[in-house]
Amino acid sequence: MWLWKLPFIVKVLFLLAFAGGGWFAYQKYTATAAAKPQYQTAAVERGVIISSITATGTVATSNSTSVTTQASGVISAIYVKDGDSVKAGDKIAEVDLDLQGKQRASQSYASYQSAKNSLQSAKDKYYTLQSSMMTKWKTYMDVAQSSTYQNPDKSPNTDNRNLPQFFATSDDWLATEADYKNQEAVIAQGQTSINNAWLSYQQTSPIIYAPISGTITGLSLQVGSFITAQTNTSGTSTSQRIANVVTSAPPTITVNLTEVDTPKVKIEDKATVTFDALPGKTFTGKVVSIDTVGTVSSGVTSYPATIKLDIPDPSIFSNMGAQAVIITNSKSDVLMVPSQSIKSNTDGSSYVQLLTKNGQVEQNAVEVGISSDSQTEIVSGLSEGDTVITSSSNGTSSAKTTTQSGSIFGGGGFRMGR
């Protein structure tokens, strides 16, 4: 070949020039490829979108109540055991009262007897007022139907009925009627007082009763064990818990909502609930109340909401930690895109970047609806099957670049940079 016939130094220079030209061409190609944007895309889909919020809380005690007593002494009999079903008023246990317990029981029973006497006195006065009212009413009717105050055609004689004598008779009857009706309220109050006195006596009596119907749990008493009198710091008698009665009602969960989430939640919203203590189990329920007064702690406002589970479960205990997902909205057969594809203009309007079939990128205005954790509803502006850009990169971060120092014919040569 003609190349090998040239002098050696000329051949070297020629090869270096050829290699340098190839390197420049390679550099230009790789730089162009690296600068070309790389896109992550997703298709506009049609489906169901669910908007929800999450909140944490604990299991409330609305499906159980405590069996309490103010009695003190030695347990002489126990009539139930854990797991037994009881009805309201059933005997739970009996106490051989000590001196202090007897004193409390006697005071409570005396209050009960006093309430009974007060109720009976109220009833006696009620009958007296009833008799007086009927007598005054009879007097009034006799006067009103007399010829002085009634015309021959039985119509009222309005002129004479304006006389003081007629008003006095009418007022006597109306006054006794008012006293009679007021006494009905006194009797209702007396009945409430006697019920309260009886319940107070039951708290101090030697018999401990079931407050509601349900299943006994947490009964720790034993025959022969001693229960002591309980008082608060002011010396007032207080009750002590000896067991629980759990009803068949589904438990309720109290969760704390943020001030941002609270306006989104409504009564009857569906929810799913999980518990740290019950892995693998998910329970359903609905929101039954929202406390819109809220509480403030360390400058943060929260609003308690109550979720009632759909079914009871014996493995759910009071005060367990719970996590709730409350469904605030849901729509079916809607267009949706990944939420990260939605961008906002300075005026608050939304747009997406569309990747056309010929590889061009277009900015497209859209109207958005509800959002889930990952998807956003598209009300208008896109069609099913459109391709939206979810993220992009210019490719320069990982591409290798080449730099040249000096001439390819100089002493510096060339090098590949990173």
Nearest in space to 74 (alpha carbons), one of 223, 259, 239, 245 = 223
Q: For the residues 73-93, what does the mean pLDDT come to? A: 94
Q: Report in angstroms the alpha-carbon separations of 223 from 77, 211, 227, 299.
A: 6, 21, 11, 52
Whether residue 91 has pLDDT greater than 90: yes
Report residue 228's pLDDT band, with 50, 70 and 90 as the boundaries: confident
Residues 255 and 129 in one domain: no
Q: What is the CATH number of the domain that holds 314?
A: 2.40.30.170
Confidence band (pLDDT; 50, 70, 90) for 400? very low
Does the pLDDT value for residue 147 go beyond 60?
yes
pLDDT band per the 50, 70, 90 thresholds, residue 269: very high
187 and 231 fall within a common domain: yes
Please answer whether residues 108 and 200 qualify as being in contact, where contact means their C-beta atoms are separated by less than 8 angstroms.
yes
Is residue 371 predicted with pLDDT exceeding 50? yes
CA-to-CA separations, 56 to 257, 287, 307, 310, 336, in angstroms, rounded:
8, 14, 11, 18, 29
Q: What is the dihedral of CA 227, 233, 237, 243, to 10 degrees?
A: -50
Range(s) of the domain holding residue 111: 69-244
Contacts of 89 (CB under 8 A, 6+ apart): 209, 210
Dump pLDDT digits (tens) for 291-321.
Answer: 999 889 888 999 999 999 999 888 888 889 9
CATH code assigned at 171 = 1.10.287
**325 and 345 both lie in a single domain:** no
H or E stretch at 307: strand 300-309
Question: Based on the domain organization, do 234 and 275 belong to the same domain?
Answer: no
- Residue from 228, 247, 246, 250 nearest 238 by CA: 228
How far apart (Å, rounded) are the C-alpha atoms in residues 257 and 333?
Answer: 30
Look-up of token digits 């889909």 = 45
| Section 60-89 average pLDDT | 90
pLDDT value, residue 37? 74
The total number of structural domains in the chain stands at: 4
DSSP 30-73: HHHHHHS-EEEEEE-EEEEEEEEEEEEEEE-STTEEEEEE---E
Quick one: pLDDT at residue 232?
74
222 and 254 together in one domain: no
Residue 9, SS3 per DSSP: helix
Are both 81 and 223 inside the same structural domain? yes
Model confidence band, residue 39 (pLDDT cutoffs 50, 70, 90): confident
User: 75 has which bridge partners?
Assistant: 95
Question: Are 26 and 100 in a shared domain?
Answer: no
Given a cut of 70, whether residue 62 has pLDDT beyond it is: no
pLDDT tens digits, one per residue of 409-418: 333 333 333 3
Do residue 212 and residue 290 come from a single domain? no
